[in-house]
Amino acid sequence: MVPAKPVHSQFFKVICFLSLLNASYGIISGVLGAIAPPEVDQAFIDGFMENFERFDLPMEGFRDQVETYYLNVMLSMGNIAAANFLFFGIEMIGVVLMYRLSRIGFVLYIASQIGLAFIPAVFGGFSDFGISVLVFTLIWNAIWVVMYWTQVRKFRNS
Protein backbone atom coordinates (compact mmCIF):
# COMPACT_ATOMS: atom_id res chain seq x y z
CA MET A 1 0.00 0.00 0.00
CA VAL A 2 1.29 3.46 -0.92
CA PRO A 3 1.17 5.96 1.94
CA ALA A 4 -0.90 9.10 1.42
CA LYS A 5 1.07 12.03 0.10
CA PRO A 6 1.39 14.73 2.78
CA VAL A 7 -0.44 17.95 2.12
CA HIS A 8 1.60 21.14 2.28
CA SER A 9 0.45 23.71 4.81
CA GLN A 10 -0.44 27.18 3.55
CA PHE A 11 2.45 28.62 5.59
CA PHE A 12 4.90 26.22 3.93
CA LYS A 13 3.61 27.12 0.46
CA VAL A 14 3.99 30.83 1.18
CA ILE A 15 7.56 30.63 2.47
CA CYS A 16 8.53 28.37 -0.44
CA PHE A 17 7.01 30.82 -2.91
CA LEU A 18 8.77 33.80 -1.29
CA SER A 19 12.07 31.92 -1.22
CA LEU A 20 11.74 30.90 -4.87
CA LEU A 21 10.96 34.49 -5.80
CA ASN A 22 14.00 35.69 -3.85
CA ALA A 23 16.25 33.00 -5.36
CA SER A 24 15.02 33.76 -8.89
CA TYR A 25 15.79 37.44 -8.48
CA GLY A 26 19.19 36.58 -6.96
CA ILE A 27 20.08 34.23 -9.79
CA ILE A 28 19.09 36.70 -12.51
CA SER A 29 20.83 39.66 -10.87
CA GLY A 30 23.85 37.46 -10.12
CA VAL A 31 24.22 36.40 -13.74
CA LEU A 32 23.74 39.92 -15.06
CA GLY A 33 26.10 41.40 -12.46
CA ALA A 34 28.78 38.78 -13.13
CA ILE A 35 28.56 39.17 -16.91
CA ALA A 36 28.50 42.97 -16.90
CA PRO A 37 29.47 44.38 -13.51
CA PRO A 38 29.01 48.11 -13.08
CA GLU A 39 32.02 50.13 -14.06
CA VAL A 40 33.61 51.55 -10.95
CA ASP A 41 36.02 54.28 -11.89
CA GLN A 42 37.45 57.17 -9.90
CA ALA A 43 34.52 59.46 -10.80
CA PHE A 44 32.06 56.86 -9.48
CA ILE A 45 34.03 56.48 -6.25
CA ASP A 46 34.34 60.26 -5.84
CA GLY A 47 30.58 60.64 -6.34
CA PHE A 48 29.91 57.94 -3.76
CA MET A 49 32.24 59.54 -1.23
CA GLU A 50 30.66 62.94 -1.83
CA ASN A 51 27.17 61.54 -1.24
CA PHE A 52 28.39 59.52 1.74
CA GLU A 53 29.69 62.66 3.47
CA ARG A 54 26.12 64.03 3.60
CA PHE A 55 24.98 61.29 5.98
CA ASP A 56 25.47 61.46 9.71
CA LEU A 57 26.36 58.10 11.18
CA PRO A 58 25.11 57.32 14.69
CA MET A 59 28.61 56.23 15.70
CA GLU A 60 31.23 58.47 14.16
CA GLY A 61 34.02 55.94 14.75
CA PHE A 62 32.44 53.74 12.08
CA ARG A 63 32.80 56.29 9.28
CA ASP A 64 36.20 55.06 8.05
CA GLN A 65 35.12 51.42 8.35
CA VAL A 66 31.89 52.06 6.45
CA GLU A 67 33.76 53.92 3.68
CA THR A 68 36.31 51.11 3.35
CA TYR A 69 33.59 48.45 3.47
CA TYR A 70 31.52 50.01 0.70
CA LEU A 71 34.59 50.82 -1.40
CA ASN A 72 35.64 47.15 -1.19
CA VAL A 73 32.10 46.05 -2.08
CA MET A 74 31.95 48.40 -5.08
CA LEU A 75 35.31 47.18 -6.37
CA SER A 76 34.19 43.54 -6.03
CA MET A 77 30.73 43.78 -7.60
CA GLY A 78 31.45 41.19 -10.30
CA ASN A 79 32.77 38.67 -7.79
CA ILE A 80 29.89 39.35 -5.41
CA ALA A 81 27.40 38.81 -8.22
CA ALA A 82 29.02 35.47 -9.15
CA ALA A 83 28.97 34.34 -5.51
CA ASN A 84 25.33 35.42 -5.21
CA PHE A 85 24.49 33.42 -8.33
CA LEU A 86 26.08 30.34 -6.79
CA PHE A 87 24.37 30.58 -3.40
CA PHE A 88 20.98 31.66 -4.75
CA GLY A 89 21.15 28.66 -7.11
CA ILE A 90 21.79 26.39 -4.14
CA GLU A 91 18.90 28.08 -2.33
CA MET A 92 16.55 27.42 -5.24
CA ILE A 93 17.54 23.76 -5.43
CA GLY A 94 17.08 23.46 -1.68
CA VAL A 95 13.61 25.02 -1.75
CA VAL A 96 12.49 22.81 -4.63
CA LEU A 97 13.72 19.73 -2.78
CA MET A 98 12.04 20.88 0.43
CA TYR A 99 8.81 21.39 -1.46
CA ARG A 100 9.16 17.76 -2.50
CA LEU A 101 9.57 17.04 1.26
CA SER A 102 13.20 15.96 1.02
CA ARG A 103 15.37 16.71 4.06
CA ILE A 104 18.48 17.25 1.95
CA GLY A 105 16.79 20.38 0.62
CA PHE A 106 16.78 21.79 4.13
CA VAL A 107 20.52 21.14 4.45
CA LEU A 108 21.17 22.85 1.10
CA TYR A 109 18.96 25.77 2.15
CA ILE A 110 20.94 26.22 5.38
CA ALA A 111 24.24 26.09 3.47
CA SER A 112 23.00 28.71 1.02
CA GLN A 113 21.88 31.04 3.80
CA ILE A 114 25.25 30.80 5.54
CA GLY A 115 27.04 31.46 2.25
CA LEU A 116 24.81 34.41 1.40
CA ALA A 117 25.41 35.91 4.83
CA PHE A 118 29.19 35.70 4.50
CA ILE A 119 29.45 37.19 0.99
CA PRO A 120 29.32 40.87 2.07
CA ALA A 121 31.82 40.35 4.89
CA VAL A 122 34.25 38.36 2.73
CA PHE A 123 34.30 41.00 0.00
CA GLY A 124 33.67 44.07 2.17
CA GLY A 125 36.04 43.16 4.98
CA PHE A 126 35.82 41.83 8.51
CA SER A 127 36.01 45.18 10.26
CA ASP A 128 33.63 45.94 13.14
CA PHE A 129 31.13 47.24 10.58
CA GLY A 130 31.55 44.20 8.33
CA ILE A 131 31.04 41.86 11.27
CA SER A 132 27.92 43.76 12.35
CA VAL A 133 26.51 43.40 8.81
CA LEU A 134 27.36 39.68 8.98
CA VAL A 135 25.63 39.25 12.36
CA PHE A 136 22.45 41.03 11.24
CA THR A 137 22.37 39.03 8.01
CA LEU A 138 22.87 35.78 9.92
CA ILE A 139 20.01 36.70 12.26
CA TRP A 140 17.68 37.46 9.33
CA ASN A 141 18.65 34.25 7.55
CA ALA A 142 18.26 32.27 10.79
CA ILE A 143 14.66 33.49 11.03
CA TRP A 144 13.98 31.94 7.61
CA VAL A 145 15.80 28.73 8.54
CA VAL A 146 13.68 28.45 11.70
CA MET A 147 10.50 28.95 9.67
CA TYR A 148 11.52 26.02 7.47
CA TRP A 149 12.66 24.00 10.49
CA THR A 150 9.12 24.18 11.89
CA GLN A 151 8.05 22.33 8.73
CA VAL A 152 11.00 19.92 8.44
CA ARG A 153 9.49 17.50 10.96
CA LYS A 154 6.93 16.65 8.29
CA PHE A 155 9.60 15.69 5.74
CA ARG A 156 10.55 12.13 4.91
CA ASN A 157 14.09 10.99 5.65
CA SER A 158 15.33 10.84 2.04
Per residue in 1-21, pLDDT (tens digit) is 555 566 688 999 999 999 999
pLDDT value of residue 8: 80
Total number of domains constituting the chain = 1
pTM of the model: 0.84
Per residue in 37-89, pLDDT (tens digit) is 878 778 878 887 787 777 777 766 777 888 888 888 888 889 999 999 999 99
pLDDT value of residue 36: 87
Give a yes or no: residue 157 inside a domain: no
pLDDT value of residue 65: 84
What percentage of the chain exceeds 90 in pLDDT?
Answer: 55
Domain ranges, residue 107: 10-152
Phi, psi dihedrals of residue 156, rounded to the nearest 5° = -80, 170
The overall average pLDDT reported for the chain is 88
Give a yes or no: residue 1 inside a domain: no
Give a yes or no: residue 98 inside a domain: yes
Give a yes or no: residue 141 inside a domain: yes
Are the CB atoms for 116 and 87 separated by under 8 Å? Answer: yes
